[in-house]
Amino acid sequence: MSAYTQAYAANHDSSLSEFQTMLLERINNIITALLPEFKEKSQAMRAVTLSDNELMKLIYATQLEHHIHVPERELRKMKRRA
76: CB partners within 8 A, 6+ apart: none
pLDDT of residue 82: 64
Per-residue pLDDT of 33-74, as tens digits, reads 888 888 888 888 988 999 999 999 988 888 887 777 768 888
How far is residue 26's CA from residue 30's CA, in Å, rounded to a whole number? 6
| For residue 8, pLDDT beyond 70 | no
pLDDT of residue 14: 66
Q: What is the dihedral sign for C-alpha 66, 69, 70, 72? A: positive
Average pLDDT in the 4-14 region? Answer: 63
Per residue in 47-58, is it b (16+ CB within 10 Å) or e — as a string? beeeeeeeeebb
